Amino acid sequence: MVDFGNREGVMREWDKWRAYIAGGGGGSWPRDAFESLLDYYDEQIEDLRNFKVAWADAAEISMRALKNAEKRREEFSEKEASIKACWEGDERK
């Protein structure tokens, strides 16, 4: 099996395919090996797409959490102002 993440390894395989085909080889292994190469890169692309989706989901969750925290901070500030007003004898509630 070729390490398709290694460029030099891929090129060595390519040289083997060329030599085999140029020598009149009629077997299917060059095609099978090339298909494996395509599958490898398809998997890499799919992994990147999944990673992108995961980051988008995380960003959305973070934004919702931030908005919720801002809302809670505003509510707390209102309660704090009301408590302070009561403490200072103000009639506001």
- The CA distances from residue 19 to 7, 16, 29, 35, in Å, are 19, 5, 13, 18
Q: Is the dihedral of CA 41, 44, 50, 51 positive or negative?
A: negative
- Residue 14: closest CA among 61, 59, 6, 45: 6
Q: State residue 91's pLDDT score.
A: 56
Which residue intervals of 1-93 are DSSP H helices?
7-22, 29-87
- Binned at pLDDT 50, 70 and 90, residue 87 comes out as confident
- pLDDT for the residue 14: 87
Q: Return the pLDDT at 13.
A: 84
pLDDT digits (tens, 9 = 90+) for 23-81: 998 888 888 888 888 898 899 899 998 999 899 999 999 999 999 999 998 888 888 88
**What are the pLDDT digits (tens) for 25-39?**
888 888 888 888 889
Non-local CB neighbours of 3 within 8 Å, separated by 6+ positions? 9
Q: What is the pLDDT of residue 4?
A: 63
CB atoms inside a 10 Å sphere around CB 82? 13
> Binning pLDDT at 50, 70 and 90, where does residue 3 land?
low
